[in-house]
Structure 1
Amino acid sequence: MNKPIRTVSIFCMLLFVALMANVTYLQFFKAKELNTDPKNARVAAAAFSRERGLILVGDNPVARSEPVDDQYEFLRVYPQRQPYAHVTGYLQLGSQTGIERSQNDVLSGEDPRLFVNRLVDLLKGDTNQGGNVLLTLNPKAQRAAFQSLRDTVGPEGEGAVVAIEPRTGRILAMVSFPSYDPNELASHSSAEREDAYDRLAANDHEPLLNRAIQTRLFPGSTFKVVTAAAAIESGVYDADDEGESGATWQAPGTTGEGNVIDDEGRTGCSPETIEFATAMEDSCNTAFAKMAVEVGPETLREQAEAFGFNSDYLEDLSPQARSVFPEEVVDTIDGEQQDPRELNDAETARSGFGQFSVQSTPLQMAMVMAAIANNGSLMRPYLVQEVQTATFDVLETTEPEELREAISSQTASQLTELLVSTVDNGTASPAAIDGVSVAGKTGTAQRGVEGKAPYGWFVSFGPAENAEVAVAVMIQEAPGKDISGGQLGGPIAKAVMEAVLQQ
């Protein structure tokens, strides 16, 4: 064989080897990744055409697949529409959100736990059906949360509600407002889907945003519960003690009227020394600012983190924003960043009543109250109760998981006493329920922007002994209304608690 022919032969052989290597790599090593890649149009179309499993709340589907006469054969339908939209999410060609995304393997039938069912379907010649997902949500609580929040904030308002079963971590309600109709985004018409998405994405009120887990704001006075927990747990105070207060207070190291902490006219806070119960009932900023400085930023941070701040915890719905208690401060002097430092007294004081750089999601504040209600034990929150076959056989049930002991049972008992008194005698009275002992705390957080209304918060649990539900309400916008955590948030929390307790 002459040299030119030999060269061409070797080159062709190398091309053949390269081709075989690439085919082997794609079909063997990369097969799973390519099959699950949402950009894979063939796989996406096949999944879109499959009879997907149900998403259930109780016995009722909040997402199901219905047969249709088009190329995809099945259309995803969301019967409850807005109240469940941020939990279920929506299914589109090649993409999912919410539970549709986090439980996609189950709902599409690809989960390994459904292998036997797939095999049976294959042998019988039936189309592969997806498995079902049963959620933890309480339909009455979800409906009460959505309706009361919507009616309170109005059509141009914004807010969120989360309710948790303290002893298990089961999420009983999760609502974000404004909401949207996921049916519009699940349409088989690309023009309709794109028009709906563009309209929602352009809305200044961000209806696609799940404020319950994706929005973190200053928690305001609801964070005083964390400060009180740190003070009692560290031995600095007991619930029966008295502490320093005063009508105003200038934190050490600060000057100017802008750095004066006041109690916004609440005269019960004005004495230099007041009872711990009074400080909580009247939500005294000066008392909790001084308490935070006395406890110290390290202890305050440790307590916040014991409740879940600065960490992630919800595993079956994403994305979620991480609630924050500042770990350090970095100053900038003459344009240069300085070495990180601990919070000073003024920053610690404002952190003590949920301002400065403290940020929280509604889910996080519901977890704080749930841990207190559960004798100090913080449970992992979860939304998926069961994974089922298409014929409702249970494949897996979520078992409650303790994350940690956030506070001792003794501290939890003292905090419960203080919070019950705040409902019975203080600012949290709008959440009172006849015949039920309710624990609660209000919060009205300043935005730090002149002329902008504050954020309204309300957190509670009940019954105070053997609590069945802990609730957090966040009101971000309520045009035309005077935002107050107690007056606006309290009735919403009450409605949700009543819905659970009247089962």
Structure 2
Amino acid sequence: MNKPIRNVSIFCLLLFLALMLNATYLQVFAANDLNERPENARVLNAAYSSERGAILVGRTPIAESEPVDDKYNYLRTYPSPFLYAPVTGYFTNGSATGIEAAQNQVLSGDDPRLFIGSLIDLLSNKPPKGGNVQLTLDPAAQKAAFDGLSALGDGVQGSVVALEPNTGKILAMVSLPTFDPNKLATHDFAARDATYARLNDDPSQPLLNRAIQTRLFPGSTFKLVTAAAALESGKYQGADARVPGGSSFQLPQTSGESGLVTNEGRPCGTSEITLRMAMEQSCNTTFAQLAIEVGAEGMLSQAEKFGFNSDYLEDLNGQVRSVFPEELNPPQVGQTGFGQFDVQATPLQMAMVAAAIANDGVVMRPYLVDEVQSADYDAQTTDPEELSRAISSETARTLREVMVSTVDDGTASAAAIPNVSVGGKTGTAQRGVANKPPYGWFVSFAPQDDAKVAVAVMIQEAPGHEIAGGALGGPIAKAVMEAILK
């Protein structure tokens, strides 16, 4: 071979090698980045042109893909939009939220667990179809939570979460205000963009899932954690243990009204009262003193055993951590004893506290995805997972007893169900902002032994109502529990 031909051959070989390297890079190393680019119209068209799997509650789709006569072939629809929107989220071009985002690989058919079914479809020349996601939600509990919170009227902001204590299944997850995901899944992209801009700019934040994305002062519901820490310290035993009381308590290292803890007129004895009475009357003075006795490290440790300062929700995106602060001085520790200072909790977190007490002291990992199903309904079920042991069985029994007393004879009577032993705790948390109403909380479980449900209700805003956790949250929790226990 003469030199010019050899040079041309080498040059052509280098060109082929460059093409092969470029193709390998694009198809192997850069594929994911290219697929995720919002301006990639090919990926967009492919996503809309394939049948995305359904999101199911029971056997009922709450999100599904309907055939349409346009270039995208399928339109994502939400049959009960406002009821489930904070959970499902929405799926549209270039973005997704909620379960639509967290379980996108399953719903699109790209999950490795669906590989065999996808391969069979490919070999059979069938159009690609995504897998289904079966949720743990109970439709009756979800509706009871939604209706109860909605009944508070226009402008309400809040959330309800219900858990199955011995598994961690999320039985209800409601957040208000809510939105219509159909308006964001439309193929009219100009209308979609206008709707998104309006929702995103709304000061009431309807796109927010308050169950997992809003954390507030938990107020007196946090007294359950303080009581747990005091009982676990070994200094106190049983529901009738004698604990500090009093109509007022001056936080250490403070003077004047700014450091004075009171009970808002509730009867809390003098120097000593029973733990039962302290919980029934929600005595701030008791739990401030107990928290100081336990100390900053003891309170931090107990809160973290319940899930504070950690991430635990794995099948839905967006969880914010509930917070118990570190390195506190004595007056700050005292304020944390009744859920103030810098203690912050989500509704899911407070439902986990109630569920752990109901579950003999064991915290189960909360989860929403019950099953992943192929297009042919081959199912892979989620196994419950123990997250931690927060308290001993004995401490859990004591807390259940005093919580039942709080419903029977104390501030949580609004959650009472005839012929059912219900445990509950109210919470009214000051915002720390002048002339602003408090936050309302309510946590509960039922029945006392072998509980089937634990509930947390959080009311952030309720125009036209005097916010009190028992009066507003108690009836909602009762309705949810009745829906499960029916």
TM-score normalized with structure 1 length: 0.92
- 8 Å CA contact 1:89–1:182 kept in 2: the answer is yes
1:470 maps to: 454
Q: Does 1:26 align with 2:26?
A: yes
Q: Tell me which amino acid in the other structure corresponds to 1:248.
A: S
2:129 maps to: 129
Moved more, 244-253 or 367-376: 244-253
1:445 maps to: 429
Q: Tell me which amino acid in the other structure corresponds to 1:352.
A: G
Distance 1:378 1:39, change over 3 A: farther
Aligned-partner Cα distance in 2 for 1:18–1:216: 54
Post-superposition offset of 1:10: 10
Alpha-carbon deviations, 1:412-458, whole Å to 9, x = none?
00110110000000000000000000000000000000000000000
1:479 maps to: 463
TM-score normalized with structure 2 length: 0.96
Aligned-partner Cα distance in 1 for 2:75–2:355: 39
Post-superposition offset of 1:92: 0.3
Aligned-partner Cα distance in 1 for 2:12–2:130: 46
- 8 Å CA contact 2:142–2:173 kept in 1: the answer is yes
1:393 maps to: 378
Aligned-partner Cα distance in 1 for 2:249–2:43: 64
Aligned-partner Cα distance in 1 for 2:369–2:28: 33
Moved more, 13-22 or 412-421: 13-22
Distance 1:41 1:446, change over 3 A: same
Moved more, 217-226 or 122-131: 122-131
State how 1:140-159 maps to structure 2 within 5 Å. Answer: 140-152=140-152, 154-159=153-158
Q: Does 1:171 align with 2:170?
A: yes
2:221 maps to: 222
Post-superposition offset of 1:391: 2.6
Post-superposition offset of 1:116: 2.0
Moved more, 67-76 or 106-115: 106-115
- 8 Å CA contact 1:219–1:360 kept in 2: the answer is yes
2:50 maps to: 50
1:338 maps to: none
State how 1:227-242 maps to structure 2 within 5 Å. Answer: 227-238=226-237, 239-242=239-242
3-state SS of paired residue (1:269): coil
Aligned-partner Cα distance in 1 for 2:377–2:7: 65
Post-superposition offset of 1:487: 0.2
1:332 maps to: none
Aligned-partner Cα distance in 1 for 2:235–2:80: 50
1:413 maps to: 397
- 8 Å CA contact 2:149–2:156 kept in 1: the answer is no
Give ranges in structure 1 of 5+ residues lacking alignment: 1-5, 328-341
3-state SS of paired residue (1:218): coil
State how 1:174-189 maps to structure 2 within 5 Å. Answer: 174-189=173-188
- 8 Å CA contact 2:44–2:94 kept in 1: the answer is yes
Give ranges in structure 2 of 5+ residues lacking alignment: 1-5
Moved more, 477-486 or 39-48: 39-48
Q: Percent identity?
A: 64
Alpha-carbon deviations, 1:309-331, whole Å to 9, x = none?
0000000001111000002xxxx
- 8 Å CA contact 1:249–1:262 kept in 2: the answer is yes
1:355 maps to: 340
Alpha-carbon deviations, 1:49-77, whole Å to 9, x = none?
21111100001000011000001000000
Aligned-partner Cα distance in 2 for 1:293–1:7: 85
Post-superposition offset of 1:41: 2.6
Aligned-partner Cα distance in 1 for 2:165–2:286: 29
Q: Does 1:454 align with 2:453?
A: no
Aligned-partner Cα distance in 2 for 1:384–1:410: 32
1:402 maps to: 386
- 8 Å CA contact 1:155–1:178 kept in 2: the answer is no
State how 1:332-371 maps to structure 2 within 5 Å. Answer: 342-371=327-356
Aligned-partner Cα distance in 1 for 2:297–2:240: 24
Q: Tell me which amino acid in the other structure corresponds to 1:423.
A: V
1:254 maps to: 254
Aligned-partner Cα distance in 2 for 1:252–1:302: 22
- 8 Å CA contact 2:50–2:74 kept in 1: the answer is yes
2:278 maps to: 279
Equivalent pairs counted in the alignment come to 483
Aligned-partner Cα distance in 1 for 2:101–2:165: 26
